[in-house]
Amino acid sequence: MVVTVKSGAQYIGILLGADPRNHDLGISLKQVKLLKPAPGDDDEKTKESEYLGGGKEKVMIFEPKDVVEITAQKVYFETGPSNAGTQQNGMTPPCL
């Protein structure tokens, strides 16, 4: 997911959760990196290849008041028949 905030900065990460409270959308991402700094920000402040956020999963929470745009990249959909009944969590269930 890519989150653009009011300053113009863009952050990319893995969607951890979203909160659609009060008709706004707050979002949590993990393994967050700065995709594009805000216009006028010092490039030395944060290198684009560094993980940001807290904890071992580098989580960032974006408040609804700060979020301007949320986009998903590289979303793939299967076009064949689903085998959801034969697999669970990527594993074939044991025979009973």
- Tokens standing for residue 71: 């986009």
- Tokens standing for residue 64: 């609804």
Cα–Cα distance, 74 to 92 (Å, whole number): 27
13-27, 37-51, 78-92: which is most confident: 13-27
How far lies 48's CA from each of 60, 70, 90, in Å? 15, 19, 33
Band of the pLDDT at 96, cuts 50, 70, 90? Answer: very low
Cα–Cα distance, 65 to 63 (Å, whole number): 5
Give the model's pLDDT for residue 25. 79
Mean pLDDT of 4-25: 87
What does the DSSP 8-state code read for residue 72? Answer: -
Tell me: the pLDDT tens digits for 26-77? 899 999 999 999 888 765 556 656 888 888 889 999 998 999 999 998 877 7
